[in-house]
Amino acid sequence: MSSGLGIDGMISGFKTTDVIAKLMSIESRRGQLLVKKSTGMEKEITALQALNAKISSIASAANGVMGKKDALSSADLSSVWAAAKATSSDPTVGITAKPGADISQLSFSVDKTAQSQVSLVSAETLADIAPQIKQGPPPQGLSIIVGNQIASIYPSSGSAQDIAEAINKASDIGVRATAVRVGTGADGQGQYILQITGTKTGENEGKFSLHVGNVAEDLKAAGVKPETSSLNEATGTIQKATYKAEDLAAHLSTINAKKVTVSNTQEATSAQITLWGGTAQERSVTSENNTFSQVLDDVDITVGIAAKDPNGKPLALTPKDVKVSVESDPKVASDKVKALVSNIDLVLSELYSQTKAVEGKDDKGNKTLSPGVLGTNSLTRGMSSQISSLIAGGIEVTNKNGTKSTVSLSEFGITMSNSGAQMSVKFDEAKFAKAMAADPERVQEAMTAFAAKTEQYAKNMSDSKDGLVTQQITSKQSSKTALNDRIDAEQRRLDMRKASLQKRFNAMESALAKMQKQYSALGLLQQTPTQKR
């Protein structure tokens, strides 16, 4: 570039770089104004985005009061307004109450917990059945009967490892297997025991047995039809089948498949509790797993939860004299309303922070006041008043006689206050709890109506497509993009102008240098005659 010639004022004596800088400073004022405007616009966009996020949180909190997971889900008022709190006297017994569960108390003892069957197949038994597993075609394989389901597998050999691999590759057959090395034989080869563990508990669903051959095919030959079945594509035989329990029990003893001898290290058992023990009404209740769902309506009681005492010692899993209770839990509704009020207050605080006048000083040191980032925004200036109206306007409720009336939200612990220009909303949990105790239906009606009203307002403002604040953000982002394009164009113009000035000044210096050279030559010519005399 011409600016790199390095002849700054060498001939003219002018500091051309300083002259150009001053000229460019004057010319750049328009661009500086554009940059300042862009910076202000960026601050406004950032402030609007922060405000929009907080308004959106009002909608989320309002949905919570109405028992909705989000704006599109259905309301489940019972999850909030009929919430139940369940407690157990023993940490090894858990209790979970569904919304709407009746208030109740119950005492019982835990007789036993549910467990799965664990069986071992000895190395001798494995050696005995190995030749039979491979007989065919088709190969006999193994059948595993769990409850009223039969699954057939075809291990590549009768070894513990191959049988375990075939069992574990099969999906949803009710057992898992492990090959456990227990020693070394006379031939130097490892000796293994096959451990098979049921994946289900209970005396009905947790028991299993092993048979050499395809039991399902034997039953088919005997005319026993399964309720459901699937085929093994490789062998063309039944791979998995489910039967009616009575059909399977009636025909299982007639099949040809050889039952594999196992030793059980753990029996499949159902969980059992005893109600009203020691009385004439004593009654035992069982469950295939450790959860009892039919003892109390809408309540799950789970026994056998691993727990430790304060010293870290495991507690017994079959406790006696367990007491469980279910009570209504108004705190769930209180917390939801509190969250809604807190989010409304956050929006009011954000509005005040972004619109209040900012103190500063002018060039002479005098105090000045300038509008906040959103202080001149026509949309946000009235939002505090709009939100205040949502609360001050009251809510329509129905009394016990069926008459509708508008009541103040202060009745339920929600109040507005002003501190100068700053508005805030507060929630009195004690007053809300008192109202809930007196008339929970009235509180529910009022709060869900209030939540619906605030949710609609928040949606109007912050909806991702049609919200007024959202649309303003989008509009300002577009304007800022156009403004940045103008700033870029202005910068290009300034760069060209600077280059032009540098070229002109450099040309001037070059011309002066040339003139100076010519002047020196003329001076020499004028001195020549004198020198000759």
- Cα separation, 359 vs 223, whole angstroms: 94
- Cα separation, 58 vs 52, whole angstroms: 10
Top-confidence residue, 267 or 397: 267
- β-sheet bridge partners, residue 242: 149, 228
In the three-class reduction of DSSP (H, G, I as helix; E, B as strand; rest coil), residue 388 is classed as helix
pLDDT at 393: 85
SS3 content of the chain, % helix, strand, coil (to 5): 45, 25, 30
Give pLDDT tens digits for 170-223.
988 999 999 999 988 778 888 999 999 999 999 988 999 999 988 998 899 888
Q: Three-state SS across 226-239? A: CCEEEECCCCCCEE
Given a cut of 70, whether residue 520 has pLDDT beyond it is: yes
- Whether 327 and 85 have beta carbons less than 8 Å apart is answered as yes
- Whether 314 and 304 have beta carbons less than 8 Å apart is answered as no
Given a cut of 90, whether residue 267 has pLDDT beyond it is: yes
pTM: 0.68
Q: Where are the alpha helices (DSSP H) in 258-363?
A: 330-355
Tell me what the mean pLDDT of segment 59-77 comes to: 89
Which pair of tokens denotes residue 484?
Answer: 């940045």
Which candidate, 207, 201, 208, places its Cα nearest to that of 286?
Answer: 201
Confidence of residue 91 (pLDDT cuts 50, 70, 90): very high
Cα angle at 281 between 277 and 286, to 5 degrees?
65
- Give the position of tokens 């040809």: 256
Helix (H) or strand (E) holding 417: strand 414-419
Instruction: Compute the residue count for the chain.
Output: 533
Confidence of residue 6 (pLDDT cuts 50, 70, 90): very low
Given a cut of 70, whether residue 38 has pLDDT beyond it is: yes
- Cα separation, 86 vs 99, whole angstroms: 11
- β-sheet bridge partners, residue 300: 96
